[in-house]
Amino acid sequence: MYESQVTECKEDITTMTNETFKLKKKYHTQNKNFLKIKKETLNSTYKTIFPDISAPKKKIYGGGFKIMTPSNICWY
């Protein structure tokens, strides 16, 4: 009698753990899909709010001053 109750409880526990594992897996997949959709919608709204601004390809360094010094100056 007691042994049958113990085995029945063990079986119930294993089925419950399997069900919770499946439920947990389902929750994580749904959460992952939800975050993916949320990220895509945020990216699409950023594109509409902030238009693409093309930066100039040529950049000026040095504040407009010549970086190279002329080589024909005598320093003595």
The three-state secondary structure class of 65 is coil
pLDDT tens-digit series, residues 22-72: 999 999 999 999 999 998 887 776 665 555 666 656 666 656 666 666 666
Helix (H) or strand (E) holding 30: helix 2-49
State the Cα–Cα distance between residues 19 and 41, nearest whole angstrom: 33
Q: Whole-prediction pTM value?
A: 0.49
The pLDDT, as a whole number, for residue 43 is 73
pLDDT tens-digit series, residues 6-23: 999 999 999 999 999 999
